[in-house]
Structure 1
Amino acid sequence: MNKIKIILADDHQMILDGLSEVLRKHQDLELIGQFPNGKEVIEFVKSNKVDVAIMDINMPELDGISCAKLLKQDFPEIKIIMLTMYAQKSFIDEIIKLGIEGCLLKNNSGKELHDAILRVQSGKYYYDKIKDFTDPTEEIASYKLGEREIEIIKLLAEGLGTNEIATKLYISTHTVSTHRKNILHKTGVNNTTQLVQFAYENHLI
């Protein structure tokens, strides 16, 4: 039996470990590479046969979308499945335009990932969860983020600390900390890194 050759790309080792465990349970799949960014993916596919690339959207050096564009340009035979943490319809629209074959939310089950791989490898698309993706304006509204909170998210994404944000916005550090705590609660993320990814995927930055 010819196994489907898979590569994974995500800058979080925990995600890579979890996905690797899922893939190794299926005898029809062969995991041949794991990478922390899109740059290493491009280098690998230049000298290795890959059937399906599974990638996170947000990675350092070369993000998932930019990597996918290069793969579609130079290695169109490779099928691509994008992984994202947040449901957003505009993101789906963008990757469909690029010809990317599939997309899954990171909280989907291992069975869904296996189904997606088989589907795209057969020449079809896997967007069965498209109904779960919302319009970005509805998404932002659903979190009830205020203008000041969105402003603080943007500054956090720029790498500014609490003191710097307080100085820039002419507010106290206590107020900044309170806003940050409220923002994390509303968006359901655990830290600034996840918040930046949320902002990126929702076109706030």
Structure 2
Amino acid sequence: MKIKVLLADDHAIVLEGLRAVLSAHDGIEVCGEASNGEQVLQFLARQHADIIVLDINMPVMNGIKCAEKVKAKYPAVKILILTMYAQKSFLEEIIRIGIEGCLLKSNTGKELSDAIIRVMEGKSYFDLIQSFCTDENETTSFKLSDREIEIVKLLCEGLTSTQIAEKLFIADQTVKTHRKNILRKIGAHNTSQLVQFALNNRII
């Protein structure tokens, strides 16, 4: 029986390329395509898929929110994320959700079908992306990670936790946890003090 794969990406040319790669594999069948997270959920409500090859940056509902909803409603469906990013914090986020694998968009040739088969065998697929992750992204002056500094800048721009989550393709709760950790690290109690800290340390 062939592995039924649902492709989700908002770029038609990417979908076409993914379909071409997977169609060359005898054991894989592309059972559907979607251009955003809501279409993924609508498809699964009507039809079965064994695994979703899911892009992160999509309109209407991004890949992270979609993956969270899929795992909550269809836990048996496997998910393989396609991304341009490979930061450690991003990897931790998708592992937390329960996503089985992650593949860089620059490596979607034969590696994609290999990743699908491996995930369907009950294994994870994070091998190559691990080499792009690092624990060295921490400033020595105030011990804020690159991700935390990124969130500080967005908070200083006046963005809400929800807006930051949308912009960075992470969960709202993850942003709130980062904010809490940032305030604790710098000894601030509110956003005004955080902005002052950012100014004093030339973050903004």
Give the TM-score band, short-chain normalised: 0.5 to 0.7
SS in 2 for 1:100: coil
In the alignment, does 2:19 pair up with 1:23?
A: no
Correspondences of 1:33-44 after superposition (within 5 Å): 33-44=32-43
In the alignment, does 2:113 pair up with 1:114?
A: yes
| Gap regions ≥5 residues in structure 2 | 139-148, 160-166, 176-204
| Partner of residue 180, structure 2 | none
Deviations along 1:129-156, one digit per CA (max 9) or x if unpaired, are 13333349749xxxxxxx9xxx7xx98x
Q: Distance in 2 between matches of 1:51 and 1:77?
A: 8
- Aligned amino acid, residue 119 of structure 2: V
Q: How many pairs does the alignment contain?
A: 151
SS in 2 for 1:8: strand
Moved over 2 A (4+): 130-139, 199-203
Q: Distance in 2 between matches of 1:50 and 1:111?
A: 21
Q: Distance in 2 between matches of 1:98 and 1:109?
A: 22
SS in 2 for 1:50: coil
Shift in alpha-carbon separation, 1:137–1:16, aligned structure 2, 3 A: farther
- Aligned amino acid, residue 110 of structure 2: K
TM-score (norm 2): 0.66
Structure 1 residue 18 displacement after superposition = 0.8
SS in 1 for 2:110: helix
In the alignment, does 2:39 pair up with 1:71?
A: no
Q: Distance in 2 between matches of 1:57 and 1:90?
A: 15
| Partner of residue 4, structure 2 | 5
| Partner of residue 200, structure 1 | 168
Query: Does the Cα contact within 8 Å between 1:88 and 1:136 map onto a contact in 2?
Result: no
Q: Distance in 1 between matches of 2:40 and 2:80?
A: 14
Query: Does the Cα contact within 8 Å between 1:8 and 1:55 map onto a contact in 2?
Result: yes
Q: Distance in 1 between matches of 2:113 and 2:73?
A: 26
SS in 2 for 1:123: coil
Of 69-78 and 109-118, more deviation after overlay is shown by 109-118
CA RMSD of aligned residues (A): 2.7
